[in-house]
Each structure stands twice: as C-alpha cells, then as structure tokens.
Amino acid sequence: MKIISYNLNGIRAAMKKDLVGWLKKESPDVLCLQELKALPEQFDHQPFTDLGYELFFMPAEKKGYSGVAIFSKTPPEHVEYGCGEGVYDSEGRVIRADFADVSVMSVYMPSGTSGDIRQDFKYAWLDFFFGYANELKKERQNLIICGDYNIAHTEIDIHNPVSNKKSSGFLPEERAWLSKFIESGFVDTFRHFNQEPHNYSWWSYRFNSRAKNLGWRIDYNMTTINMIDKLSNARILADAIHSDHCPILLEIA
C-alpha cells in the first residue's frame, strides 16, 4: 500500500498548480489531505474520480478553513467522519478509512501561531487526541495516522531550533507531547528510515525560505508500533510544489 499525506493549503489553489497531473504520476493507493479550505461542492471532483479515486470529506463548518479528506483507489469497508467531539469536528480535523485490518486517518492538528487562545485550544486538542488515538488503536491495531501535526519534534526537524524555541510548533510542551505520543506505541516512519537533518515538510512563504531550505518537519505518517515490520519506505517529496507544505510518502508491505 502506497500512502501519501499532503497539506494542500487550499485544494482549489493546488489544482491550478497541476495537482492532478502530479497525482496521476505518483498514483498512491490512498491520499490523505489536510487544509482543503473548501467545501466538497466548491471544486470539481471529476479529475480525481477519473484517476480511480473515491473521495471522502470532513469539511469545516467555516467556509475557506481547515478540512480533511481521504481519496482512495480501494473502497474502504468503513469511513469514520470526525472524532466525536463537536468542538473539533466543526473544524474538520479528522477522517478515517478502514480497509480490512488496516486503518488510515487523515488529521489536521491545530496551530497555535495566532495567539494564546488558539495555543490553549491546541493543548486541549493534544490532550484529547492522545487518549482518542490510544483508545482507537486497541480496536484498530494497524492504525496509520497521517497528517499535519503542527509540531517539529526535535532540533533536526527545524532549521533554526535556537531562535524558534519559543515559537508555537516548537514549544517544549508540544515537543514533549509528541515524544509521549510516540512512546505510547507509535512510529515516526520517516525517522525510522532517515536520521539526517535538513529534511522538512513546510516552509514559510516569506524570506525565500523554501529555496533556502529554511523549513520545519511538521507532517508525519505515524503507524502503530506493531506495523514496524511492514514498513518498506518513507520519504518526503520535497519536489512537489502545490502548497507551502510538501507531500510525505509511506509504503507498507
């Protein structure tokens, strides 16, 4: 199974940058999307269905904001829309597709960059999601949680750890949460294969950051630890430029 996760920062804008042509070339079995910034009826589905995908959406109630989706070439046995908590589901943050013994989730975790209110919202989400994911993996033991976690985990996951140590997304409390999450039984699949620095999945649009590779690695394909022997490849697809993020790939046997 080939899985790609991608924060599009707006699916309509990404489609104007030949997202569909890129998708045809990459041809993942499952595509997990975040930050669509569009309701399903606000863009043309046919270019994706023509490639053989079934489309499943969990949009935000607010137009032009957030929203997640899963596009799959194999029909899921079940799709779970949301996480059952209205405050998060209204923002379109979670969708899950179950395929036989494997479940794939697309998640868009909150950002705290706009100020203290949203940072507190992010902390509440992290507390909730830790329990939610760990309960879910008791039922769905082969669980893959793909998406934008909005946290750079370690110093090699960010271009300037010293100057960003007080920045949302690299705060000690956020990094500690991600360590705790992994220790609870999840694998950071990219780091399973690659321990090298300077590998990022998001770059600011300012200061020519992408060309200079001044980025953050905040997108992850996490799997439950019992899947570790099934992992065959994990990469960051930094050459794809449809967003301020880039896609991340996971292949499992």
- Given the residues 148, 157, 188, 219, select the one marked as catalytic: 148
Alpha-carbon distance 245 to 109, whole Å? 14
Two tokens, residue 139? 């039922």
Cα gap 55→135, rounded to integer Å: 26
Q: Tell me which DSSP letter residue 197 carries.
A: S
pLDDT at residue 161, rounded to an integer: 97
pLDDT score of 57: 98
CA distance 59 to 187: 28
E strands, the chain, where?
Answer: 2-7, 30-34, 54-58, 68-72, 78-81, 94-99, 102-108, 142-148, 186-188, 202-203, 215-216, 219-224, 231-236, 248-252
For the question of residue 98 being annotated catalytic, the response is no
Domain range for 153: 2-252
Count of domains for the chain: 1
Q: Which residue has the tokens 């706009």?
A: 114
Q: Which residue has the tokens 């779970």?
A: 80
Q: Which residues of 199-234 are buried (b: 16+ CB within 10 A; e: fewer)?
A: bbbbbeeeeebbeeebbbbbbbbbbbeebeeebeeb
Distance of alpha carbon 38 from alpha carbon 10, whole angstroms: 7
Output the pLDDT for position 216: 98
The parts of the chain modelled with pLDDT lower than 70 are none
Q: What is the per-residue DSSP string for 85-138?
A: -HHHHTTT-EEEEEETTEEEEEEEPPP-TT-HHHHHHHHHHHHHHHHHHHHHHH
Question: Which of 154, 216, 231 has the alpha carbon at shortest distance from 186?
Answer: 231
Residue-level pLDDT at 223: 98
**Alpha-carbon 123 to chain mean position:** 18
pLDDT value of position 154: 98
Q: What angle do CA 28, 34, 14 make, to 5 degrees?
A: 75
Question: What was the pLDDT predicted at 65?
Answer: 96
pLDDT of residue 166: 96
CATH of the domain at 34: 3.60.10.10
H-run or E-run covering 242 = none
